[in-house]
Structure formats: structure tokens, C-alpha cells
Amino acid sequence: METRLRSIVKAVIWNLIGLLVMAGVGLIVTGSLAAGGLMAGINTAVGFTTYLVYERLWSRIHWGRCHG
């Protein structure tokens, strides 16, 4: 089982990577740094929340773990 802090740190790092990628995609698609940044910010907020919930749910499932 992993700690909540570990789950949060993993989610923050993953979402920072996603934020940079999404901002770049948004800039390419819209041609606007402001619009691309807004898209990236919304995507990051939604993605962070869903990823954190997903990780915490899986941390409670014992199926597939090796106990040794």
C-alpha cells in the first residue's frame, strides 16, 4: 500500500508533464498562448483529481499484488 503523500507527489509530477504537453497542443491548435494555457489548466485540474482518486482506489485493491 502506498501513502497518500506518495500518491499526491506522483499525481503532481504527472500533471505537470501533462500541463506542458497540453499547453503546447493548445498553442498549436488555437495559435493563442492564453487559450492553450486555459485549456491546459482545465485539463490539469480535471486530470489531477481523477488520477488521484483512481490511484487511491487501486491502493485498496489487493488483487494482483505479490506478498512475499
Write out the chain's pLDDT in tens, 68 residues. 678 888 888 888 988 898 899 899 989 999 998 998 898 889 888 988 898 898 889 888 888 877 76
Query: What is the value of pTM for the model shown?
Result: 0.63
Residue 33: alpha-carbon gap to chain centroid: 21
CA 4 to CA 8: how far, in whole Å? 6
Where do the domains of the chain lie? 4-58
28: cell is 498549436
CA 18 to CA 42: how far, in whole Å? 11
